[in-house]
Chain A
Amino acid sequence: MDLTQTLEIASCTDPGMVRSHNEDSVAADAAHGLVVLADGMGGYNAGEVASGMATTVIVTEMQQVLAGARPYDVDPRTSQEIAARLLREQVLKANTDIYQAAQSQPQYAGMGTTLVVCLFYDNRVLVAHLGDSRLYVLRDGKFKQVTRDHSLLQEQIDSGLITLEQAKNAQHKNLVTRALGIDPSVEPEMHEYRTRPGDIYLLCSDGLCDMVDDDDIGMALQALGGNLKLCAQQLVQMANDNGGRDNVSVILVRVLREYPAARGVMAKVFAWLK
């Protein structure tokens, strides 16, 4: 099912005001309903390599597997939909590729990347993430964070050591507890949510949410939701106006209409005729 007419996607990525390199990487494939954002880390240009590998591997591999299958197909062995398994496998493949590159080439040693991936299908979105890159959603005028960071700070908040207010001024926002390509194996956190027409999804690197308050991000989304491209640029600009200490990347996805999966015999015939 081609989602080009269903999803409106805009993205923007910028090195920020301080850094000379952009270690973030974004990729989108509207037809397959796939968006990927990665924030790389590692010396010199290794961060760029890691995040670039993550987005490229996941998009190309997903395109390949989705060419022969649909995400809502049911696996006869597990009698579960294959979407989650497919996405997880491609994330693990990207992990292996990055890890091996880091092991085999000294200049890439220790590189890794955070990741947030969304796969839209059948009126749903499947989200996989690692590290502190985030997914937010604006629905019915309410702006909410969907993913929970894999970071030391989040763990401290969860365990009640510090409050959200204190977290804003914490010193170690940069320490993530899970990332892609650091270890031989990794477990991405995956969840599935229902989508509604009119929803706007925001994927962003920590360069945005560290520099701009969630309230202001939500306000920008509400005010400029009519023009996603402009909205993406505005978000990056807000981060840069506030100091732009890190690379800033955003992907915005608006759900334009319902997109239920074509099920049943007739639907299959139609799909085949197309």
Chain B
Amino acid sequence: MAKLILSMDGLVLKEIPLTKERTTIGRKPHNDIQIDNLAVSGEHAVIVTILNDSFLEDLGSTNGTVVNGNPIKKHFLQNNDVVELGKYKLKFVGEAASAAGAEKADFEKTMVLRPAAMKAAAEQAKAMTASSPPQAAGAARATASQQAVASATAAGIADKEPRPAPAPAARPAQPLGAIQLLSGSNAGKELELSKPLTTLGKPGVGVAVLTRRPQGYFITHVEGANRPAVNGQQIGAAPHALKDHDVVELAGVKMEFFLKA
């Protein structure tokens, strides 16, 4: 999607995607892009977006609209055009440029691998080109070539171009937790919490689970009428974060949670 980047004195203030057919720019608050500056007229300009094309039109503003240093009445916006309104600058980033960025970031998106169908689509577009008047032909060819590019990238990933594998999710170094039983027949016994999940308690009486997450350890009630208590306070339905040396009581057994150095 095409977008505008609003900046003043080289400082980026905001990114505005051009989602609407008409995006109005002006000083008054009802504008889609409001610029509260006296050099900007109440209704200063409008950007009309049709499919991938955006047109900028000055709405008879007092100080005029300047694109790339030239005052304009109407202008077909191209990638990297800079619109100046007083001290403010709006940089236009076109469909193709932002799409390329999105594709790069999104290459893990599920895609269908279907070379045969891609060929069919290209042929269909070619047939359209042949039968349609020259003006439309340009557009049709553009879509055909886009599809060809799309199929080329799909095939490329498939057979040769080795893309770097996504780095495995970085797990921040996290202190290992453990619990030590304080009461019951196994008092004194220690249990390391190295797994992502550790269940505690007796089925039917009370079961809780200790989850190991990047943010730390959490205790959650799973089943049974007796909810576990942390430092004497019964926990609710939501996961409860455990702190070093918290005392957990579950189904009549007390245990201490602590972090190993």
Contact = CB atoms under 8 A, between A and B. Distances in A.
A223 B199 contact: yes
Contacts of B225: none
Interface string B149-167: 0000010011000111110
A175 B108 contact: no
Interface string A197-236: 0000000001000010000100110011011001000100
A131 B157 CA distance: 18
B121 to A, nearest CB: 8
B112 A182 contact: yes
Nearest to B171: A242
Given A44-B1, A241-B214, A219 B195 contact: yes
Contacts of A39: 110
A245 B107 CA distance: 11
Contacts, number: 94
A194 interface: no
Interface in B72-125: 107-114, 117
B24 interface: no
Interface residues of A, number: 38
Q: Which of A172, A206, A211 has the most CB of B within 10 A?
A: A172
B39 interface: no
A237 B218 CA distance: 12
Contacts of B168: 169
A171 B195 contact: no
A98 to B, nearest CB: 12
Q: Which of B1, B117, B163, B196 has the most CB of A within 10 A?
A: B196
Given A230-B220, A237-B213, A241-B213, A177 B165 contact: no
A179 interface: yes
B207 interface: yes
Contacts of A246: 108-110
B221 to A, nearest CB: 8
Contacts of A227: 222-223
Interface string A238-250: 1001110110000
B10 interface: no
Contacts of B197: 216, 219-220, 223-224, 234
Given A224-B209, A230-B220, A152 B158 contact: yes
Contacts of B157: 171-172, 175
A170 interface: yes
B213 A171 contact: no
A216 B117 contact: no
A175 B207 CA distance: 41
Contacts of B222: 223-224, 226-227, 230
Contacts of B164: 171
A114 interface: yes
Given A152-B158, A176-B112, A219-B195, A243 B165 contact: no
Given A226-B203, A230-B222, 11 more contacts: A41-B110, A170-B165, A171-B162, A172-B158, A176-B110, A176-B113, A206-B110, A219-B196, A234-B209, A234-B220, A237-B213
6 contacts: A169-B165, A171-B166, A174-B107, A177-B112, A220-B197, A223-B209
